[in-house]
């Protein structure tokens, strides 16, 4: 595999990892309307945000059809974003949980424990313990379960208005709904709908819709649900006879990207304040803005930048000249990506987020003018 090709593969994995990924969903059968009593959407939102300690277990179906380029080294992610995935989940607390994904090629179980994560791969007959927390990792099925997804989005948009939706029947429960409508015109998210069991505050179904797209960009819902705590035996991996055990450290983003920028992140980009600098301890990586329109900007080595640029072009992206460089941009609703090559500083940058391309291009123009001597 050529250096550029390797960079292309790693770059797409990085794009998906640093952005809040939402996926276009195929049409699914409408759920039966419910007759749950009307509940204030503000109370439902408060219940969702406080549901992190609610134990539960069940079966979730996730539908996705995001038109991402092929990700050869991330086939699990490609499958998650382009088809239907069923996930069995057991949740006791934020530090003790488990989810299983069964596919045509095998089964993989992920366990969360106070001491770290373990992964059981049935096909390889291998149990792997991950030591430490990865600073950046690819999205996985567990991130798209209704409770996790709903809490993450509502936390990012805490000041945006919510309105009531008609009740629906989900997993045998009649539950009220609410719609979150982002007030920031710069985000590519149009609205997020969710249905919540008001007795326990647990989201049981989520739909995220992009601006200008008829179908939801993500559909995640419980097919079966019990609000009972899972047994301790279910949350403890059991090795079979003859199985292997491996221990690995969480991947270091510095090792993955190589020597990143030695300069500090600008205080502002595209009129947005730097909200978080040196994300995950990596110098030069910054999060700009707040809410759902926040975006990530990071300097990348030349091979990663060139690979990302090739990937954007191959996926139908557009090239735009900048005063001191060029930008290549691509929108895969609701994800926007811009790759920046600065002729002035001889550097590459990657921008990604659930924000409009215009915002990212404005930031790209400012990055292209930065001096290489910034410290």
What is the model's pLDDT at position 278? 65
> DSSP string covering 14-59, please?
HHHHHS---------PPPPB--PPP--HHHHHHHHHTGGG--EEEE
What is the model's pLDDT at position 298? 85
CATH numbers and ranges of domains, the chain: 31-249 (2.50.20.10), 253-368 (3.40.1000)
What is the model's pLDDT at position 372? 65
Vertex 130: Cα angle to 126 and 135 (nearest 5)? 140
* 63-121 pLDDT, tens digit each: 976 666 655 455 677 677 777 899 999 999 999 999 999 777 678 899 999 988 888 88
The dihedral sign for the CA sequence 157, 163, 166, 167:
positive
Could you tell me which residues come within 8 angstroms of residue 199 by beta carbon, excluding any fewer than 6 positions away? Answer: none
What is the model's pLDDT at position 133? 61
How do the pLDDT tens digits run along the chain, 375 residues long? 444 444 444 555 555 544 533 333 333 344 455 555 578 999 999 999 999 999 999 999 999 766 666 554 556 776 777 778 999 999 999 999 999 997 776 788 999 999 888 888 887 788 888 766 655 566 789 999 999 999 999 998 988 999 999 999 999 999 999 999 999 999 999 999 999 999 999 999 999 888 988 888 889 999 999 999 999 999 998 776 666 666 655 554 444 454 444 567 899 999 999 987 766 556 677 889 988 899 989 888 888 888 888 888 888 899 999 999 999 998 887 889 899 999 988 889 989 889 999 999 999 999 999 876 554
Residue 212, both tokens:
């200008």
Residue whose token pair is 């179906």: 61
Classify 218 as helix, strand or coil: strand
What is the model's pLDDT at position 256? 47
Is pTM beyond 0.85 here? no
Could you tell me which residues come within 8 angstroms of residue 226 by beta carbon, excluding any fewer than 6 positions away? Answer: 56, 57, 58
What is the model's pLDDT at position 22? 32
What is the model's pLDDT at position 373? 57
What is the model's pLDDT at position 4? 41
Cα distance between residue 88 and residue 97, in whole Å? 11
E strand intervals along the chain: 56-63, 84-93, 96-103, 106-113, 116-121, 126-131, 162-170, 173-180, 189-197, 202-210, 218-226, 244-249, 268-269, 272-277, 286-288, 295-300, 318-322, 325-332, 335-342, 347-353
Asked whether the beta carbons of 11 and 348 are under 8 A apart, the reply is: no
What is the model's pLDDT at position 274? 92
Asked whether the beta carbons of 145 and 220 are under 8 A apart, the reply is: yes
């Amino acid at each position: 595999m050529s250096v550029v090709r390797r960079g292309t593969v790693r770059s797409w994995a990085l794009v998906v990892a640093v952005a809040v990924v939402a996926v276009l969903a195929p049409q699914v059968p409408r759920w039966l309307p419910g007759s749950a009593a009307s509940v204030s959407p503000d109370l439902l939102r408060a219940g969702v945000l406080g549901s992190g300690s609610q134990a539960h277990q069940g079966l979730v179906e996730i539908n996705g059809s995001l038109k991402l380029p092929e990700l050869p080294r991330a086939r699990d992610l490609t499958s998650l974003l382009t088809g239907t995935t069923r996930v069995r989940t057991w949740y006791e607390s934020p530090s003790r949980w488990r989810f299983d994904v069964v596919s045509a090629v095998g089964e993989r179980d992920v366990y969360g424990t106070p001491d770290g994560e373990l992964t059981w791969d049935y096909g390889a007959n291998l149990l792997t313990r991950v030591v430490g927390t990865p600073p950046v990792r690819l999205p996985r099925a567990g991130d798209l379960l209704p409770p996790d997804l709903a809490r993450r989005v509502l936390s990012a948009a805490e000041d945006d208005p919510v309105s009531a939706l008609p009740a629906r029947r989900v997993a045998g429960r009649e539950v009220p709904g609410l719609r979150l409508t982002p007030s920031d015109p710069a985000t590519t998210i149009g609205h997020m709908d969710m249905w919540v069991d008001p007795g326990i505050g647990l989201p049981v179904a989520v739909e995220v819709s992009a601006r200008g797209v008829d179908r939801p960009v993500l559909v995640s819902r419980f097919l079966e649900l019990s609000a009972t705590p899972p047994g301790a035996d279910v949350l403890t991996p059991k090795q079979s006879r003859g199985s292997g055990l491996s221990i690995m450290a969480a991947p270091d983003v510095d090792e993955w990207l190589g020597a990143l920028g030695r300069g500090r992140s600008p205080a502002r980009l595209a009129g947005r304040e730097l909200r978080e600098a040196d994300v995950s301890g990596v110098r030069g990586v910054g999060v700009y803005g707040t809410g759902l329109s926040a975006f990530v900007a990071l300097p990348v080595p030349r091979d990663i930048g060139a690979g990302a640029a090739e990937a954007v072009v191959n996926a139908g992206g557009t090239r735009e000249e900048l005063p001191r460089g060029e930008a290549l941009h691509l929108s895969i609703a609701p994800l926007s990506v811009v790759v920046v090559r600065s002729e002035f500083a001889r550097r590459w940058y990657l921008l990604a987020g659930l924000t409009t391309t215009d915002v990212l291009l404005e930031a790209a123009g400012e990055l292209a003018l930065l001096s290489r001597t910034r410290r």
